[in-house]
């Protein structure tokens, strides 16, 4: 295939005629040309185009590639020289113009020459980005579009249009650095990042979900697809949906947080704090919610342990008096019947006096341990102070409560051999039922305590009900 030579090309001839710097050319025109000549210059498309390119900061260069890595600038406009900070004279020197190491970044030399070689072979437009050396010592990023226009002495010649994109590259580097820093911080904090598109109902899982979700990164129809939320605890799914649909995100522009449970095996759930912030995407107008999930399971379990400690007796694990009172009030508010039982260890002072306080503590633990074995899991056990205990038996009548406490009293006697000392332990027990005997907890507690006092003062080692106490008092009055 024959290649066109550049020397006879009309474009080449016009460019040669324009080699005088445009700034000087324009200055001469404004100083010496007549109005007629000035109009003629303005009508010259090539001169006007060159002036326009210089004004836009668009560099234009005609360049020839030789053997090996040799290259020669045949012509360039002022903007080209501004890119490198070199004068025309400096660039015209053989050393500077012909040696790519003086111009191109060392890492880009092979890449640039390979691209131009392929460009000659395919004749397809070339669009690449690379770095050139600036006179001040730094490198300038260029966005280059090139067209192969023919050969001179068997060597290819190109017309290149170049733009300085250093500022864009620096902005991109800054943005990438911010993204990397955010990613590293996210990984370090184990944050799980997601973005929900309210407009299209699409969930995008961005980072750190691998251990919990095997779903694809994009989940369409998120709120309409129950399977998309199976990893969440059933009690928390609606709460999460309500957070995503919260319209106040787009009015108050304030973040909101909730606490939910998520499982990676559908057996064990861990606690997460979900924090979201809403925004409107400028390019699409879509309403979106950006959120993060932070695993707080260890902290939550610790809080629960601390909360449990504050509500329970450290020796026995039973509720303390204030917590037992509060829990009992809440249960009575449900309207379900039951019984409040008060328990006292008979002659406990002699237990301590004869065998020491360590054995006394052992007996207290034994009493609560045996009580747990005799009541149901839903029943409440409390240590009201010293050697006095209470039990809230749920959903029982008086006869059932009395029978269960008598069985408990017998269990206490049957297992005394497990104690470190052979010592007889008996219990005085009183109980009152609700709603039959009392409507409020204070009244119920008072009546169960009255029944307990009667048990202690009338023989001990027995279970006395409040209804029995009323009958007893009535007979005493007759």
* CB proximity list for 436: less than 8 A, separation 6 or greater: 337, 398, 467
- Confidence (pLDDT) at 26: 42
Contact between 398 and 433 (Cβ < 8 Å) = yes
CATH 3.30.70.270 domain residues, the chain: 312-477
pTM exceeds 0.75, yes or no: no
Which one of 3.65.10.10, 3.30.930.10, 3.30.70.270, 2.40.160.40 gives the CATH number of domain 312-477? Answer: 3.30.70.270
- Confidence (pLDDT) at 214: 52
Contact between 73 and 63 (Cβ < 8 Å) = yes
- Confidence (pLDDT) at 21: 42
Q: What is the pLDDT of residues 15-34, one digit of tens each?
A: 444 444 444 444 343 444 45
Pick out the chain residues at pLDDT < 50.
1-33, 38, 41-42, 94-95, 188, 211-212
| 10-166 is a CATH 3.30.450.20 domain | yes
Tokens of 169: 């590259």
CATH 3.30.450.20 domain residues, the chain: 10-166, 190-300
190-300: CATH number? 3.30.450.20
């Amino acid at each position: 295939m024959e290649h066109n030579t550049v020397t006879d090309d009309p474009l080449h001839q016009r460019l040669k005629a324009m080699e005088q710097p445009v700034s000087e050319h324009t200055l001469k025109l404004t100083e010496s040309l007549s109005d007629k000549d000035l109009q003629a210059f303005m009508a010259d498309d090539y001169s006007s185009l060159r002036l326009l390119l210089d004004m836009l900061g668009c560099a234009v260069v005609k360049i020839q590639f030789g053997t090996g890595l040799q290259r020669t600038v045949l012509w360039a406009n002022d903007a080209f020289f501004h890119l490198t900070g070199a004068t025309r004279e400096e660039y015209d020197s053989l050393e500077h113009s012909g040696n790519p190491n003086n111009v191109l970044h060392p890492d880009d030399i092979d890449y640039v020459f390979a691209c131009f070689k392929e460009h000659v072979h395919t004749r397809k437009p070339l669009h690449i980005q690379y770095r050139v050396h600036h006179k001040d010592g730094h490198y300038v990023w260029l966005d280059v579009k090139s067209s192969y226009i023919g050969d001179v002495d068997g060597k290819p010649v190109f017309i290149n249009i170049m733009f300085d994109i250093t500022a864009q590259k620096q902005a991109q580097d800054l943005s990438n650095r911010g993204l990397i820093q955010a990613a590293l911080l996210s990984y370090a904090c184990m944050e799980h990042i997601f973005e929900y598109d309210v407009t299209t109902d699409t969930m995008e899982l961005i980072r750190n979900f691998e251990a919990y979700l095997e779903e694809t990164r994009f989940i369409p129809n998120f709120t309409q697809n129950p399977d998309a939320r199976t990893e969440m605890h059933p009690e928390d799914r609606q709460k999460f949906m309500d957070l995503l649909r919260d319209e106040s995100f787009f009015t108050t522009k304030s973040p909101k947080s909730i606490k939910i449970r998520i499982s990676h095996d559908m057996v064990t759930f861990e606690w997460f704090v979900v924090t979201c912030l809403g925004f409107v995407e400028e390019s699409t107008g879509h309403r979106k919610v950006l959120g993060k999930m932070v695993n707080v399971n260890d902290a939550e379990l610790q809080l629960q342990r601390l909360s449990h400690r504050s509500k329970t007796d450290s020796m026995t694990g039973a509720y303390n008096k204030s917590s037992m009172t509060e829990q009992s009030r809440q249960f009575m508010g449900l309207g379900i019947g039951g019984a409040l039982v008060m328990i006292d260890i008979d002659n406990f002072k002699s237990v301590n006096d004869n065998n020491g306080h360590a054995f006394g503590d052992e007996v207290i633990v034994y009493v609560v341990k045996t009580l747990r074995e005799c009541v149901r899991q839903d029943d409440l056990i409390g240590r009201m102070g010293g050697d006095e205990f209470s039990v809230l038996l749920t959903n029982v009548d008086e006869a059932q409560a009395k029978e269960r406490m008598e069985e408990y009293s017998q269990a206490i006697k049957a297992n005394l051999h497990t104690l470190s000392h052979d010592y007889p332990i008996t219990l005085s027990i009183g109980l009152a039922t609700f709603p039959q005997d009392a409507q409020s907890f204070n009244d119920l507690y008072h009546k169960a305590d009255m029944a307990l006092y009667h048990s202690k003062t009338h023989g001990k080692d027995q279970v006395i009900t409040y209804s029995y106490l009323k009958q007893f008092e009535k007979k005493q009055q007759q």
